[in-house]
A = this chain, B = another copy of it.
C-alpha cells in the first residue's frame, strides 16, 4: 500500500481485527503504485474498515496493518474483485515473498506526547 504518513491509527477497542501483511518486493514494480492508491480508496469504503498504516523503505521489508471491526469486513475486503486482481498480480509480479497474519485484537493503548 502507499505510504501516507500522518501518525499511528487507533488505538481501536475490541471487537477489532488486525491484518498484518509483511512483504518483500521484487521485479520492476510496474503498476504497483497506481494499484496501491486505488486499493487505499477501495478499502476505505468497506463497511467495518477502521484504518490502515504502512511502513517500509525501498528494497526493504514492507509492513501494512489493516484494522477491521469484524470477520465480515475482512472477508468483504479479501473478496473485493479489484483486490483479487491485485492479489494475483502481486504474486505474479510484485512480491518475492509475503506473510499474512489475521489476528483478533485483545487490547490496545496509545501514547501522544503531552
Contacts and interface: CB of A to CB of B under 8 A. Distances in A.
Interface in A1-56: 3, 5-12, 16-18, 20, 22-24, 26, 53-56
Contacts of A111: 91, 95, 97-99
A107 B107 CA distance: 18
Interface of A is mostly: strand
- How many copies of this kind of chain does the complex include? 2
Contacts of A96: 7, 112-113
A73 interface: no
Interface of A: 3, 5-12, 16-18, 20, 22-24, 26, 53-57, 59-63, 65, 67, 91, 95-113
